[in-house]
Structures are given as C-alpha cells and as structure tokens.
Structure 1
Amino acid sequence: MQLSRTIFLFSFLLLLSAEAEDVSPLFVGGTYAFPGEFPFLTSLQILSFGTEAHFCGGVIIDPRWILTTANCIMNLPIFGTQQAWAGRHNLALRSEAGEVRVSFSRTFIHPSWRPWMNNDPHDLALVLLTSGLPSSARIRSIQLPEFNQPIPNGPLIYAAWGGIGLGATILQKATLFPISLTECRAAINNLNFNGNLYNDTNFCTGPLTGVYSACTGGFGSPLVHGTSPNEVLVGIASWGVTPCGTVGAPSIVVTRVSAYVDWIKATTGIIFIVLSLAIAAALAAPADLDRETRVVGGVNAFPGEFPYIVSVQWVVLTLSTHVCGGFIISPVWVISAAHCQTEIPTLGRLEMLAGRHNIGIQEASSQVRGISTFILHPDWAPGGVGPDDLVLFLLNSPLTFNDRVRAVRLPQPNVIPTGPATLAGWGSTGSPLPPNILQKLTKPLITLEQCRNAIFSLNLNGDLVDDTNVCTGPLTGGVSACSGDSGGPLVQGAAPNEVVIGVVSWGITPCGSVGAPTGVYKRVSAYNAWIQQNTGIVAGEMKIFIVLSLAIAAALAAPADLDRETRVVGGVNAFPGEFPYIVSVQWVILTLSTHVCGGSIISPVWVISAAHCQTEIPTLGRLDILAGRHNIGIAEASSQLRGISNSIVHPGWVPGGEVGPDDVILFLLNSPLTFNDRVRSVRLPQPDVVPIGIVTVAGWGSTGAPLPPNILQKLTKPLITLQECRNAIINLNLDAEFLDDSFICTGPLSGGVSACSGDSGGPLVQGAAPNEILVGVVSWAFIPCGTVGAPTGGYKRVSAYNAWIQQNTGIVAS
C-alpha cells in the first residue's frame, strides 16, 4: 500500500495498451454519466507514434484555458503532442459528434509546487490552448468559486475517465462528501502514512469504507457543487491511496480551487497584463509621441452627462479592462480610433460598454454589446502615429436609447471648429491608478500652425499633424488627454445637441508637458463622406441606411383564404438596377438556398421586411440577405450576400400563421452593404402620412405561371381607401376586423393583378428614382391571387412605424 497520485512518469504507456472494449470503472463505486452531463470536462490526451491515450482529466474554465493538476503536466514525456478533447463521452470511440480537439499552446504550473515531494499540496496547472473551444450543448466552461470560499457542506459530484488497471473509457460519476481536516489526517496516519502531507489548501472526501475511490486516469478531474448550468468548481482530484478502494482511506485528496483563485486569475492575468503593456509599448511613437491618451487635470463628469460615450473593453478570459473610448453615432455604430483595434493583441476580444459612469461597479444603466464587424479607414497604417486613425464598429445588436444612452450628432462636412471643446474619458488622471469615474475637461482649440510649432519646439516632428487633425491647448501644461482616452469624443455644444468634432488620437508624453498641445484629434468633419458611405449616417440627421431583406416560404397561408405568401401576378420584368433597394431574403439549408421573401434596404446595415418572414420560417436552416440582384437564378457581379446579425420583430406582432397587425421586422446585417448604382437604400416616409395615388410593388414572387420567376417583377397599382378595402373583404364573406389603420391596400378590384406568394416583406413605393419613398411592406393577399373583387395586396403602412424604426435603428425620414 502506498500514497500515490497514480500518475507515474510512464503511466501513459499503460493507457496506450488499453483495449477499446475496456469499460472498467473509473473509480470504485462509480456509475456511468449521461452524454453531455459534464460539458466542462475534457480528456487530456497524449498523441505519440500514431497512438492516442488519455492520461488525465482537465476542466474548462474559459474557452482558451484548462485547469488540471501539476503532476499531470510534469509527468508528460518530452515527445508527443498533447491535446484537450472536449465534448467526449466514450473514449473508446474513434470520434463522437460534437467533439472538439485542441492542442496545448503553453502550460503554467503553480510556482509553489515541488515535484520532488510526493503529494505536494499546490498541485495545480493551467493549460493555454492554441485556439478557443466553441460553446455548445456538449462544451462549455464552469464557474470558479470566490477566493477562499468555504467547501460546501453538502454532496459533491466527481466525474472522470480512468479506473483500476488499464482504465475506463466511458465517463463515470460519483457523489462524494467532504470530510474534515482532522478526520482526513487521522485516516492517513492510521494507514501508517504521514497525515501532515494533507494541507489546508486540500480537502478530502469520504466515506472511508472503500466504497468509492479515484484511480488511474481520474486525476485532474473536477469535483463540483450545484446543478447544471450553474455548477461551481470546488476541487481538482490530486492524489489518493493505492490500491484503489482501500478501506479506511479517503476516496480522494483534492486540491481546493478556492485557495488558488487569485493565482488562476493572476496567471491568466500575466498574459492579460503583458498584453496591456504590449499595447502601451506599441502605441508610443518615436520621440515620445504617445497614442495612449488620458485626461490629466480633468474633473468627474455627472452621471449621464455624456450618454454617447462608450468604454471599449478588452476581454481576456473572464477579465476585462478599459482600453479606449468611443462614441455612439447610431444604435448600432460606434466610432473610435483605428489603433484601438489594430494595436490590440489577437488574444481576447473587444466589447462595448455603454451607459456607464463608474466602470468599476455594476450600474443598472449599463448596456454591453459585442462587435459584429469593424471598418478601418483604408488609409490607416498600423504601427505608429499617423493620419486616418479611425475605425467604425458595428455592434452585434442595437443599443436601447434612453436618458443614459444615445447618439451624438456629426458635424457638417469640412467645417473647421474653433473655440472651446470638451473631452471626456476614463483615462488616467495622472494618479497612480486610472479612474473608474468618467472624467471631463474643457480646453481651447488651437490652430494647426500653433500645434505644429509647439511640437517642433519640443524637438519632435510637427509634420505628423496634418489637415485632418485638430489640436487643443493650452500650452501651459498641467492638463492633457493621455493614456486610456484614445478613441473618445471631443465635443462642442450643449446637451442634447452636442456635435462631435474630434476623435482622440495621440499626444505628447509625459502627459501635461509644458509647451505641448493637450491633445491631437482626428477632425470628424474631414471624414463625413467615409462615414456616410459605410453607415448611411449624415450630419445632423442621425440617419442610418441599412440594407436588409427577409423572406418567407410556404407555411404562411392564413385561414379564410387570406394569404401571406404574396407574389406579383400580372406584373412585368423590371429593368436591371431599377429597384436597387430591394433584397431577396434567402432561406438556406446546408448548401441549398431559395427565395422566400422580399425586403427593403433602409441603410447599409438595416433591412425592413414582414415579421412573418422571420417567425413563420422553420427553425432548420438560416436566413441570408441577397442584395443587388436582378435575376436570382444566376450569378451576377452586382450581387452582395449578407448574413443577419440580429432581428427585431415588432412587439405587437403575434406569430402563428394568422394575418394580423404589426407585421414588420428589422434585420441588422452582419456587415454593411456597399452602396453603388445597384445597391442603395430607399427613403422612409414622413410620420403618419397616409399615402394616396399610384404605387409600385416589386418582387420575385410567382407571376401565376407554374414556376416562380427568377427575374425581378414590378407592378403599378392604385391605392384604395381602408373603407373600400374592408368592404371588398366583407363582400367576399371574409372577416375584415384585422384591418386596422396601420394597413394600406391596393386595387384595382377587377382581378388579374396582385401581389402573391414570395413577395412578402417587399417594398411598395411611390416617386421616381432616386427619390422613391417606401410607403408599404407587403403583408398579405388573397388566394387565388388576382381574385376578382379582392384588393390586390395588403401592406403595412411604413409611416405608422417611423417612431419604432427610429427607436431601434436611429433612421429618420429624410
């Protein structure tokens, strides 16, 4: 009998020879787990000489990080490749659906662990993977405990592969109970071993009857408390007594994770801190020109005083920190400095934190958004101070505007600002630690000539200041933008009509130097055209033109022969490019796709369509947006394909296949459309205007022939009053109560022409190009299409939804 981790230097050789059919128990008394029951558990594998073998367990604490024991890592041979296998249940199978295998990038062993001492207490190691694990039903991370959180009194669940002899291949589990320090030491002493090996950073599990025991291959595996998906990682199996199942011995001696939470965070934080320092180093240009700008000499802002500012957060594992500022120009667009994106290491990700005042605490006003895509100015050259230091961030879902979160106005093009301006940010105030509370500082603008001369007088290169910059004084020192405020806003004017005139770009170190400009900024008015080209937002109007399209297929026919599958019957071929704002909403399954709905582009990233195009589509597959098309049956050079980042269904819409009110949806594209002569947005109507006269509908819906057309169809029709529409429906012995004031209808009632299947969500427009106005969204029609006496289409009146559209997208009628 001996004390052992049962992880010997050559224990993996035993595993290499294990037979695939071996299902001996993981530990004495264990039972089989269910597939996916422990999605945070990985099998650590050694790949050598063409053979794979499990040698330890490991626990996912972040997509890039695995926690295991030091002994598991130290006893690996110098040859072979190590991998973490996630999503596995039966290791005897060559592969399993949903599994992911990722190689080790680097390992970190606890610095106090002493490999020469058998059963040393600090038995922990971290594994950094070469790439992040995806999240799925079979793969996710587990929550860490608080630092020095006590061991729960209740039962713990232990899960692992391994076992007596050659080891088990099916994942096992057992319920174990912690025993006291005194009881554990006494049990080990009673076996004539040194109970003092047991440290207060360990704990033991019972019972001592030998009913349960961990054995070969199970070390490095987790002991958890709580129910899925909120389990907390309490311990990592460290060592035990052999032979496994010895009566009177603790079932497992466990490394208590809560004793090492600070080390875990610090170790993963080593990379985090080093990368932060790397950012600091990379952002300082020669001759003390510094991009890490912060407010020196500022004062605390009031909560909500700058509702358009965001904190750009760098997130690595579970840690996040403020690295830059940015400002909101629409519900889905943020502007910042290009170097805030390009000089960040690839490890981790950026997130946007809006509505904050104190970034050191939780605030109810906070809104966190991920980044769907970013657009660097094409002339930006990473690696040094320079011109065109701008980036646009497209958020993964729209911000909700309120008194703490809103957009700031853009300036008029090419205006050169003068007078005082105000800077805001969370950058350092000059004290040892940067502030958590938002700072502000009002400063005078100085001319470019004054700015260049000041920099030259410091024996630095003033020619770095070009005509797209603005600079602030005074030159007396003591106040400055400095580290942490890059990308933030420089504004003029009083709330709520502030205009953003500059983006914090770079400054002079040390911050607040006498004779130096207090900040160098990108002049926003030099970039209006670039901003509008990529976002659709123009000065003063806060418009976002978004191109999104939606579509729906067969299951949309409602009772009483009111049909949501609208198509153009009696129409004619459109000319290529005649409707550059229309999109085909494509339903994609595997490699197959089909047109199911239409939609209208209202900005480079927004498409409006019918809600039923989203809610009545089967969950299998996905929707894509196809813009710039004329013939959807062939490949066209003008085509632009986009995915959908987010969708916003009108809150009044009731899914379920029935025709009803509020049948509108907004689609946020995963990247902006490029506007040209074949792709652009359509104008929104003025609020609450009820259109009259002649209108045109366009779409790829059926023309009445056996097969729907590939070429875009168009049809011009007269609008009829709601009363005429209701009467026509009632005359057909159908219920017209659903037809509220947010609808419009088209005639004539003579039959033969109609919107029908496949045109749902598409545009009904008035006016001549390029000033067409979107008056309606195709919602429903009659079957058979073109029925005599029936309205030729029912549409949602867009002017009834201006406020909802603006609330969610920032787009207003032009």
Structure 2
Amino acid sequence: MSKSLQLLSLISKSLIIIQLAICCLQCISATKIISSNSSNSDDIDKNFDDKPKLFVNTDNCGLKKPTAAIDGYIIGGSEATAGQFPWQVSLQKRQSGLWLHTCGAVVLNKRWLLTAAHCINGLSEQSLRALVGTHLLNVKPPGTTGQAAVYRISKIIKHQDFSADNMANNLALIRLTAAINLDNSDGLINSVCLPNTGDKFTQYVTLSGWGLTTVSGSGGQQQQQQQPVTSNKLMFVSDVPIVSLPKCRSIYGMNWIREGMLCAGAPKGQQSPKGFCQGDNGGPLIQTDPNGRAILVGISSFNARCASPDGTPDVFVEISNYRQWIDKNAV
C-alpha cells in the first residue's frame, strides 16, 4: 500500500473515532438531562427502597369530628364525645384474667403508637393491648360505637436513655401486630400530627385521658388513691396554659425539669384545679393549629399532685425534642 493510501486510511479511522466520541458525549449529556428532570420510577436510585424511611404525617392527621363538650371532669375538665379525640388510645394490661386500663397512648399512624416509657417499663408485648376508636372504656369491641377495635402488640421500643428515677426521656413507641383501619373508621380513629424538630409552643393546650376524676387525701399523687373515682368516659381539659421551663424549674428543681420536658398548668388562683392523674399518663397533650389540626405537643409524664390547688404544673415529654428519635425508630 502506498504512503498516501496509508495516510488516508489513518485519517478515516481518526474521523470515525472522533465521531464515536462525540456521540458518547451527547448520550452522556442526554442521560444527565433525563436523570435530573424525569420523575419516572425507573430513574430513581435502585437502592432507595432499602434506605430508612422517615416518619411522615398522614394527609388527614390531627383532624376530628365536630363535637360539643359536656360538663364533667378529668380532674376539672369535660366529657369527650365520640370522635372528638380520635387519636386517643387506651393501653390495657392483663391482670387476673381481665384487661384493665393502665395508661394512655396516641396513634401516630396505622402501625405505631406513642406513650410514656414508665407505662410499659418491665412489661412484655404479650401482657398489653391497645383499644382504639372509642371514648368509652366499657365498650366490647367491635361494640356499638362501630369502629372500636383491640390491637395486640408486636414490639415495644423504650427510649434508650429513659430513667425511672427522674423520668428523663420518658417516651416509648409501640408497634401493633396489625394495621389500624384509618380509612374506614367514620372519623372515630385518626392519627395525630407530629411537630417539627425544635418547634416551641406557647399559650394554651388540651389534655385528655381516662384517669382518676376525683381524689381524696392531702398527700402527693401516690397518697391520693383512697376511694379513687375513675372514668369510663374519656375526659379532657382545655385552656391549660404552658409554663416556661425556668418557672417550672423554680418549682420542681433543676434535677427534675430537664431539656425535653414541658410543663403546663394554671398558677394558683387563676383557674380551678385541673390536670392529669393516675391513668392519664402516656396520653396526649395537643394544640390545634390555624388549620384545625391537632399537633402533639407532649405526652403526660409526671406531676407532684393530681390537679394541684397550689398551682404546681404537670410535666410532659416535649415531643418536638424527640422528633428525630421517632423518625429513626417508627419505621
């Protein structure tokens, strides 16, 4: 082959290589454009389903049926009507062959509940059950309320830093063996909305539960169990003012009131005594946002005395301080 023909062949091969390179660059550019703009599932990272999913509030969270309050007491509160607090749960413990209400809890989504860690401390999944969809404890599921249902428990996750000595990190998640039917409950069962991490709440909040409605004696909470009067009907107290952390610490002391706690209760003389008592622990403290949705501000934790007449506030777990813990574990 002549040198001129060899040169032409070399030039031709070089042009082919350059054209192939240009095509590859165009393909890569087009792929990048498709990947950045397409919403098709084929373009999503194949490992996406294997990554932990963060807890997400449901579209209908925090919504309830329109209701009218009836006079009554939680201590110092009112009687709830059906569907007024559809996220409210009765956590029940088996004793002598009977299922008895022991604490409150709240519906987070179809599978998960939230309560206070001291409510489940030392108890097994088999010794507990959850009653949802009713404001009456004596209903026999499915019962006449239509949607009352009992769920067994498959898993309990207690906060790893919970202390029974000072009630620090007093929070626990409960996973149910079966999914709650939120879509066909006629408004009697719904999840509550969670706040964002770091959200701070002021003004007034609402507390609900099936705890004692009256107490006797003048001692602390543990001494007020003589002739207790419990409630078969769900009760609530509203317009409970939030107490600042410094003010609450000045009452309880620094060793008791820590970050992640929230206090609520009326100062002495401003309102008649009202608040939570035995059986209300683990239940929700909510505040309604401008859109009418209930936001879970706190979980009932402890107090010095039920409905203290001297203005000593009740203490709650501050949920916004534990949002990341919930996100990580309720999956």
Q: With structure 2 as the length reference, what TM-score do the two structures score? A: 0.67
Distance 1:532 1:347 in 2: 21
Give the equivalent residue in structure 2 for 1:469.
261
Distance 2:115 2:79 in 1: 22
Offset from partner CA, 1:393-430 (integer Å, 9 cap, x none): 00000001121011111001111111100000000111
Give the equivalent residue in structure 2 for 1:524.
319
Give the equivalent residue in structure 2 for 1:216.
none
Residues 369 and 300 of structure 1: CA distance in aligned 2, closer, same or farther (over 3 Å) = same
1:763-774 matches, within 5 Å, as none
SS in 1 for 2:212: coil
User: What's the offset of the Cα at 1:481?
Assistant: 1.2
Q: For structure 1, which runs of at least 5 residues remain unmatched after alignment? A: 1-293, 456-460, 536-603, 605-814
Alignment match of 2:157 (pick from 375, 378, 382): 375
Give the equivalent residue in structure 1 for 2:243.
446
Distance 2:299 2:322 in 1: 11
Alignment match of 1:487 (pick from 279, 282, 288): 282
Whether the 8 Å contact between 1:385 and 1:506 is mirrored in structure 2 is no
Whether the 8 Å contact between 1:325 and 1:485 is mirrored in structure 2 is yes
Quick check: 1:360 aligned with 2:141? no
Output the amino acid matched with 2:197.
Answer: P
Distance 1:492 1:439 in 2: 16
Offset from partner CA, 1:57-84 (integer Å, 9 cap, x none): xxxxxxxxxxxxxxxxxxxxxxxxxxxx
Whether the 8 Å contact between 2:243 and 2:313 is mirrored in structure 1 is no
Offset from partner CA, 1:547-567 (integer Å, 9 cap, x none): xxxxxxxxxxxxxxxxxxxxx
Offset from partner CA, 1:713-732 (integer Å, 9 cap, x none): xxxxxxxxxxxxxxxxxxxx
User: What's the offset of the Cα at 1:320?
Assistant: 1.1
Output the amino acid matched with 2:242.
Answer: L
Whether the 8 Å contact between 1:486 and 1:504 is mirrored in structure 2 is yes
SS in 2 for 1:508: coil
Offset from partner CA, 1:359-395 (integer Å, 9 cap, x none): 023333211101100111110123x332100000000
1:81-100 matches, within 5 Å, as none
Give the equivalent residue in structure 2 for 1:677.
none
User: What's the offset of the Cα at 1:318?
Assistant: 2.9
Distance 2:254 2:76 in 1: 24
Distance 2:321 2:241 in 1: 20
Give the equivalent residue in structure 1 for 2:17.
none
Whether the 8 Å contact between 1:454 and 1:515 is mirrored in structure 2 is no
Alignment match of 2:210 (pick from 423, 426, 429): 426
Distance 2:249 2:126 in 1: 37
Root-mean-square deviation (Å): 2.0
Whether the 8 Å contact between 1:327 and 1:488 is mirrored in structure 2 is yes
Whether the 8 Å contact between 1:380 and 1:389 is mirrored in structure 2 is yes
Residues 394 and 496 of structure 1: CA distance in aligned 2, closer, same or farther (over 3 Å) = farther
Alignment match of 1:396 (pick from 177, 187, 209): 177
Give the equivalent residue in structure 1 for 2:233.
437
Alignment match of 1:342 (pick from 96, 121, 124): 121
User: What's the offset of the Cα at 1:347?
Assistant: 11
Distance 1:379 1:517 in 2: 26
User: Relative contact order (alpha carbons < 8 A, sep ≥ 6): 1 or 2 greater?
Assistant: 2
Query: Greater share of strand residues, 1 or 2?
Result: 1
SS in 1 for 2:108: strand
Distance 2:267 2:212 in 1: 20
Distance 2:159 2:258 in 1: 16
Query: Greater share of helix residues, 1 or 2?
Result: 2
Alignment match of 1:409 (pick from 193, 200, 209): 193
SS in 2 for 1:531: helix
Distance 2:96 2:251 in 1: 43
SS in 1 for 2:155: strand
Residues 295 and 452 of structure 1: CA distance in aligned 2, closer, same or farther (over 3 Å) = farther
Offset from partner CA, 1:310-356 (integer Å, 9 cap, x none): 00001135301110000001000000000011155x69711000011
Whether the 8 Å contact between 1:373 and 1:394 is mirrored in structure 2 is yes
Give the equivalent residue in structure 2 for 1:298.
77
Give the equivalent residue in structure 2 for 1:330.
109
SS in 2 for 1:330: coil
1:275-294 matches, within 5 Å, as none
User: What's the offset of the Cα at 1:527?
Assistant: 0.6
Offset from partner CA, 1:477-529 (integer Å, 9 cap, x none): 611211111110000006861100100000112x1223343310000000111
Give the equivalent residue in structure 2 for 1:85.
none
Q: With structure 1 as the length reference, what TM-score do the two structures score? A: 0.28
Offset from partner CA, 1:262-318 (integer Å, 9 cap, x none): xxxxxxxxxxxxxxxxxxxxxxxxxxxxxxxx9311110111100001000011353
* Bigger radius of gyration: 1
Whether the 8 Å contact between 2:88 and 2:283 is mirrored in structure 1 is yes
Output the amino acid matched with 1:420.
Answer: Y
Alignment match of 1:499 (pick from 273, 295, 300): 295
Distance 1:428 1:296 in 2: 7
1:562-577 matches, within 5 Å, as none
Offset from partner CA, 1:705-744 (integer Å, 9 cap, x none): xxxxxxxxxxxxxxxxxxxxxxxxxxxxxxxxxxxxxxxx
1:475-624 matches, within 5 Å, as 475-476=267-268, 478-493=273-288, 497-509=293-305, 511-535=306-330, 604=331
Distance 1:406 1:389 in 2: 24
Offset from partner CA, 1:126-165 (integer Å, 9 cap, x none): xxxxxxxxxxxxxxxxxxxxxxxxxxxxxxxxxxxxxxxx
Output the amino acid matched with 1:320.
Answer: W
Distance 1:429 1:466 in 2: 28
SS in 2 for 1:393: strand
Whether the 8 Å contact between 1:505 and 1:522 is mirrored in structure 2 is yes
Q: For structure 2, which runs of at least 5 residues remain unmatched after alignment? A: 1-72, 216-227
Aligned length: 235
